[in-house]
Amino acid sequence: MKQQGKDIGLCLCKVCRQLNSSDLTHCQRCEAELHVRDYSSLQKSWALLITAAILLVPANIYPITMLTNQGQVRHDTIFSGILHLVHSDMLPIAIIVFTASILVPWIKIIGLSIYLCAISFDIPISKKKLMVGFHIIEWIGRWSMLDLFVISITVALVNMGQLLDAKPAPAATAFALVILLTQLAAKVLDTRLLWDRLEPQDDTN
């Protein structure tokens, strides 16, 4: 049986990774506050996740870019932009954008909500699956900023007045917030809670 740190009175500093005694309230090395288990992180993660989910709605409904082409103003939502790319025979780019702008946020939110549910409601999911999912979320999350990156570059580069002009539309803010909040939600979660829950099952396996 694997032993857990808390069982032997050890506690890891979340900041500097120093192992401290559970008795201590502050890290010996960095004086950061020590928690054996941070149960409040679960709440924080939930809140951030819900906020992100809410913001996902305007991020998809409202146009994300405003393109003025020869005096003609064109608003594009995320989806209409992807469709536009598809129509423009730029399928690979469309796929990338689709993945980054739609798939990734959705996966993150859904994945996180599964983890949180698993922790909060003791849903029995195999440790291995959870771990794999967690890694994916961690890794892929940062790529969803791609869309915002493209927009910010376009806005900065395409500025020719009435002839051609691109501007971020309201959805860009919402979308950026969705990405930020999901990242935060993943970050703020004290993953040890997950491992705690997973251990016994692992044992039984």
The residues of the shown chain that bind other proteins, judged by CB under 8 A, are 23, 40, 43-44, 47-48, 50-52, 54-55, 57-58, 61-62, 70-73, 162, 170, 174, 177, 181
Q: Which tokens is 80 given?
A: 């209409």
CB–CB of 47/180 below 8 Å?
A: no
Q: Among residues 69 and 99, whose Cβ is nearest to other proteins?
A: 69
Q: Among residues 137 and 185, whose Cβ is nearest to other proteins?
A: 185
Q: How far is the CB of 186 from other proteins (least distance, A)?
A: 14
* Distance between CA atoms of residues 151 and 176, nearest Å: 11
Q: Among residues 54 and 125, whose Cβ is nearest to other proteins?
A: 54
Q: How far is the CB of 93 from other proteins (least distance, A)?
A: 22
| 166-157-81-76 Cα dihedral, nearest 10 degrees | -10
Q: How far is the CB of 27 from other proteins (least distance, A)?
A: 17
- Sign (positive or negative) of CA dihedral 115, 117, 120, 124: negative
Q: Which amino acid would we find at residue 150? A: V
Place of tokens 């979660």: 189
Q: How far is the CB of 54 from other proteins (least distance, A)?
A: 4
Q: Among residues 88 and 201, whose Cβ is nearest to other proteins?
A: 88
Q: How far is the CB of 73 from other proteins (least distance, A)?
A: 7
* Distance between CA atoms of residues 188 and 200, nearest Å: 24
Q: Among residues 8 and 156, whose Cβ is nearest to other proteins?
A: 8
Burial class (CB in 10 A: 0-12, 13-18, 19+), 147: buried
